[in-house]
Structure 1
Amino acid sequence: MTAALREGILHGTLPGGERLRQDAIATRFGVSQMIVREAFRQLVTEGFLRAEPRRGVSVAHLTADEAEEMTELRSLIEAKALAWAIPQMSKSDLETAARILSELDKAKSTDRIIALNARFHETLYAPARKDRTLAMIANLRLNFERYLRFTWQETHHLDQSQREHRQILDLCTARDVEGACKLLNQHILGTGNLLVERLQSHRL
C-alpha cells in the first residue's frame, strides 16, 4: 500500500495538495487504519506527504525552492559518494555501468529512462559502500523523480545527458576522481536548474 501511494504521487494520479483521508485509504486497500497511519508516517518522512496538525495529511506540492534545495544537496552528496567509490570500482562495475548506458540509448518510455538513469548512478556509487550516504541519495533521487516527471517534456535532453554520462564513466575508468566529481556536479546542477526554471515559469 505504501508503494502504491508513492507510485500514485510520482505519476501524478495523486496531485499536489490532495488531502488523503485515513479511513478512505484503509477502505480502498482493505487494511486497518493503523497500517495506513504507518504508511502516511513513512511517506511524510520521505517528503511525499505533508502532515498538518488537526488537518491530517496531503500530497506535498512541487515547488521551485524545494527542487533547488534537492538539486544542491544531490550535487554535493552524490559527488562525495562518487569520490569514495572510484578507488574501489572494479572492472565489472565499470562494465555494468556501460551496459546500462547502452540500454538507455534504446529506451523510449519515461519510466524506462528514469529507471535506467537511476541504475546507472547507483552502479557508480555502490562501490563506496557508505550505506548511510547511499540511503540519503536514494531518498533524494526518489523525491526528485516527481520533478523530473512533471517537467519531462520541457526539459528532456537525453542526448546531452548520455554524453555527460559517458564522459563521467570515462573519467571513472581513468580513476580521475577530481574530474569525474566536477563533471557529475555540473551534470546534476544542469538538470536541476532546468527544472527550477520550468517550475518558476509555471508558477508565474
Structure 2
Amino acid sequence: MAIRLSFQTEKKQGTLLISDASESNKSDVIRGFFSLFGSEKEPVQTTVYSHEIVVHSQGKPEELQKKVSEAINQRLQQLESRPSKDEVEIKKPELINSTRTLNPTIGEMIGGAPQQEVPPEEPEWYQTGIKNKEGVPHYKLRYWCKNPQCRDRSNDYIKEDQKTVSCRKCGQELLVRQATDEHLKRDEWGNFFIADKPVI
C-alpha cells in the first residue's frame, strides 16, 4: 500500500511518500513524520493520499495523526476484504450457437425451418418415352432448329404419323424422321423421332 502525506503549517511544510508500507510499520512512520513538526498549537491543513484515501482536516498534529491512522486502517480493511486476483473467478459468456439444443434457432422461428424438398417421382414417360394424351400415345422426339438466329434444341412428344413439328421459339417447320432404322424403336438417347431439317 502506498502512502503520501502532505503536511503544512505557516512556518513548516513537509511531504512523506512511502511506496510500500506494511501493517507493522505504518503507524511508526506516520508518528515519526508528525514528530518532526513538534507540538504546534496553530491549526494545520493536512492531505493524505493512499489509494483512495483523502483526509482534509485542521487541528493539532496529534489529532491529525489519529484521523490519518483511522483512515488508513479503514482502507486497509476494505482492501483485505476484497478477493485477490487468484480468488476471483472470471466467467466468460457462452459463444453464440456453441451448444446444440433441441430448441429451434432464431432463424427457424422467424423464417421457419427450410423445407426439405422431396424429389418428385419421375413420370412414367421418362422411362418409356411414350406419353398418353387423351388416350392417344405420343412418342418422344428431339428437334434441332436450323434457323441461324434461333438454334433452339428441345424435346417434344408427337403422334406416330406426324410428319412435321414447329420450333417452339421461332416457329420454323422441321421435317420428322425416325431415330433408328426400325419403326418405333428408340435410339441411345431414348428418342423415337428426330427433326433436324427445315421444311422447304
Fold conserved (TM > 0.5)? no
Which structure carries more strand by proportion?
2
Q: TM-score, normalised by structure 1?
A: 0.20
**More helix per residue:** 1
Q: Which of structures 1 and 2 has the larger relative contact order (alpha carbons within 8 angstroms, sep 6+)?
A: 1
Q: Over alpha carbons, which structure has the higher Rg? A: 2
TM-score for both structures, normalised by structure 2? 0.21
